[in-house]
A and B are shown apart, each in its own frame.
Chain A
Amino acid sequence: MIGADAIIKCLEEEGVKYVFGYPGVAICPFYNSILQSEIQTILIRTEQNAAHAASGMARITGKPGVCAVTSGPGATNVITGIATAFADSIPLVCITGQVHTELLGSDSFQEADITGAVESFVKYSYLVKNVGDIPRIFREAFHIANTGRRGPVLIDIPIDIQNAPVSRFQYPEEVSMRTYKPTVKGHAVQIKKVIKELEKAKRPIICVGGGVLLSEARDDLRGFVEKYRIPVVSTMMGISVMPTEHPLYFGMVGNHGKACANRAMNESDLLIMAGARVADRAVSQPDLITRNKVLVHIDVDPAEIGKNAGPTIPLVGDVKHIFQDFAREEFACEHEEWIRTLEEYRQTLVARRNPNPAYVDPAAFITRLSEKMTSDAVYVADVGQNQIWSCGYHIVKEGRFLTSGGMGTMGYSIPAAMGAKLADKSRQVIAVCGDGSFQMSMMELATMRQYDIPVKIIVLKNGYLGMVREYQHYTYRDNYSVVDLSGSPMLDKIAAAYDMQYQLLENMDRAEAVLDAFLKEDTSVLLECLIDPMDLVK
């Protein structure tokens, strides 16, 4: 047995089913050993997408996604994917091959100081120096990635360590880390305080973030708010905690959110932020959410509490534990009048759009699409105008909504959708992107073909980098700079080149029939929708 065999055994012990990656000499021992394992390898077409695919998988399975790439350029290419996962607290274990230990630091061929380079985007990183450390390091890495605030962990392994003989392999049953012990259980006194505030509150609201999904607290939270009839809004990462049409759910907050959701948050007298960072895109003026109200901030990461807004009641812990503790309290509260007010806001504060009938109206299209999607479908939105339309008009039933919220990484949707589909092949998985973001990841159509991953792709095509064009429209009075996407390929030919089905929707007239055909079978289809180039999200 050699180090590479030990790594594979570690992955097997962790129940890893898929490894996304791209080989090179420095990771070849690993890719040689994996042939003896049942773990499936997926050859991604560029390393960044290995991390995105692992992220999509992690978000569906709740376990760390795994990617493995080579040293030097392989490792540096994966950085954006790691940073994307870090910004959204997605658990990943990223393995990078490294040059021979003796060559480290000598600027040898394909050498990059990857542990140094990713320092600010990983939860932790390891450079393996002794082959005997492999079981402990992998056990710790999976533990760190998927406990406390989730996040990516990188393990850099020189080729000689992968090839070094291992006399005895034993995977540690327990992790003993002196320095890493995240608080998951909420403080009992703080929990009582929150319940007291809930009893008093006339206008309570819970703002849910991605942390609710990461801690798998969706059902606990839903049960609690339904029992006590507490209205809910969400951040972008918190979309799909509540079904969109749930009577207690009032939409996404933030500068691209729903007016009724923002108003609900501002007018509340008790705001409970649950697994949300109070980041600038969701809350552009943090002082507004502390004024005239009691702010409760629940987060597993103590550093998030008080970073952007000083809460009245800080509550450190895992959202799931905390809502389970809430559920054990018996109390009474009544806010039907508040719910009626919010319902009125929902009816009256509706964004009006003037769609151009010559094109597909993205709002109506996305709504119709989501109505036709299966109940537990996974909708993966990319970044750009398509993301904002998706947030605004996708109707979540019992499925999931995935997107790159924190980093806003274009090209996320296709690889992440592939990871999500492989995680659960029974679910419908749809990636929605723009023509800019599609071109950042279209090389992965080959991966979809090679491994038969039936992801459905929708390209909202407007011939522009729409989000930036919209910004230039407002900020620079239509002085467009470097946003014209002329030269884009004909998507029907791209689809044909990859032997994929292709459909075109030019306007809303044929939307019903095209959508039915698009969704009918569990195969990959590329659907191109022509969007008015001048359409705006605001």
Chain B
Amino acid sequence: MQKRVFQLLADNTSGVLSRISGLFSRRGYNIESITAGVTADPRFSRVTIVTYGDDEILEQIEKQVGKLVDVRNIRELKPEESVYRELALIKVKADPQQRQGIIAVADIFRANIVDVSKDSLIIELTGNQAKIEAFINLLEGYEILELARTGIAGLGRGMDNVTHLESENAVCVNA
């Protein structure tokens, strides 16, 4: 079993995300995370899927997803050729004595404190998955009240795979 990150560009039609996620569930593929959002060209959505499986399954995932009528293309985002980022919001229990300690840890990770209340803090952290996990581990001595992670979004590095869509003046990254 290995992890793989796929990036796909899809027509921004209604139901496109359910078609993609439905394909994963009915064929028994695993999704670790899925993120989607509109691109600079509002006709398209970019979706980043983190999945795992053996080579044959990963090949099938690429082909089956690529076959969906709404999907313009799918490609693997290889770690060495790509940038991955995930955002996490972490609500930590913090009385006035604990507050400074938590802020100090957050500073090391260049996290932001986005909300402070009498007895809690919300920390915003962006980074790759390893960084977010490391940060969560460091908060072990404190009580994490709530945690929300976005799953990763990714882009390939450089100009190699950037395609300029002919008819419109938009630039989209794709395979």
Contact = CB atoms under 8 A, between A and B. Distances in A.
A115 B70 CA distance: 15
B110 interface: no
A179 B14 CA distance: 15
A178 interface: yes
A124 interface: yes
Interface in A100-117: 115-116
B60 A124 contact: no
Interface stretch (A301-309, A335-343, A514-522): A301-309
Nearest to B73: A179
Nearest to B16: A179
B71 A302 contact: no
A218 interface: no
A301 B67 contact: yes
Task: Give the residue among A177, A180, A301 with the most B Cβ atoms within 10 A.
Answer: A180
Contact of A306 (B19, B43, B56): B56
A123 interface: yes
Contact of B72 (A119, A144, A178, A303): A178
A179 B67 contact: no
A155 to B, nearest CB: 13
A307 B63 CA distance: 10
Contacts of B14: 127, 129
Contacts of A306: 56, 59-60, 63
B82 interface: no
Contacts of A119: 18-19, 22
A144 B69 contact: yes
B72 A115 contact: no
A123 B67 CA distance: 9
B75 to A, nearest CB: 14
A120 interface: yes
A178 B11 contact: yes
B64 interface: yes
* Interface size class, chain B: 20 to 34
A35 to B, nearest CB: 32
B136 to A, nearest CB: 36
Interface string A170-181: 000000011110
A115 B15 CA distance: 10
Contact of A123 (B56, B63, B69): B69
B72 A179 contact: yes
B94 interface: no
A278 B72 CA distance: 27
Nearest to B62: A303
Given A179-B10, A303-B64, A307-B60, A116 B18 contact: yes
Contacts of A124: 69
A94 to B, nearest CB: 16
B26 interface: yes
Contacts of B63: 302-303, 306-307
A177 B60 CA distance: 24
Nearest to B11: A179
B52 to A, nearest CB: 19
B60 A303 contact: yes
Contacts of A129: 14
A129 B13 CA distance: 12
A25 B96 CA distance: 66
A303 B67 contact: yes
Contacts of A301: 67
Nearest to A316: B63
Interface in A111-163: 115-116, 119-120, 123-124, 127, 129, 144
A278 B169 CA distance: 44
Contacts of B69: 123-124, 144, 177, 179-180
A132 B43 CA distance: 18
A123 B69 CA distance: 8
Contacts of B10: 179
B167 to A, nearest CB: 9
Contacts of A144: 69
A521 to B, nearest CB: 46
Nearest to A307: B60
Given A179-B10, A180-B69, A303-B67, A120 B60 contact: no
Contacts of B19: 119
A177 B72 CA distance: 9
Contacts of A303: 60, 63-64, 66-67
B72 to A, nearest CB: 4
Contacts of B22: 119-120
Contacts of A120: 22, 26
Contact of A179 (B59, B60, B70): B70
B38 to A, nearest CB: 15
A242 B12 CA distance: 45
Pick the most buried of A129, A144, A303, A310: most chain B CB atoms within 10 A of its CB. A303
Nearest to B72: A179
A179 B65 CA distance: 12
Contacts of B70: 179
Nearest to A304: B63
A375 to B, nearest CB: 38
Interface string B45-63: 0000000000010011001
B109 to A, nearest CB: 39
Nearest to A180: B69
Nearest to A120: B26
A278 to B, nearest CB: 13
Given A303-B60, A303-B64, A307-B60, 12 more contacts: A115-B15, A120-B26, A129-B14, A144-B69, A179-B11, A179-B71, A180-B69, A301-B67, A302-B66, A306-B59, A306-B60, A306-B63
Interface of A: 115-116, 119-120, 123-124, 127, 129, 144, 177-180, 301-303, 306-307, 310
8 contacts: A116-B15, A119-B18, A120-B22, A129-B14, A177-B69, A179-B11, A302-B63, A303-B64
Minimum-distance CB pairs A-B, first 3: A303-B63, A179-B72, A124-B69
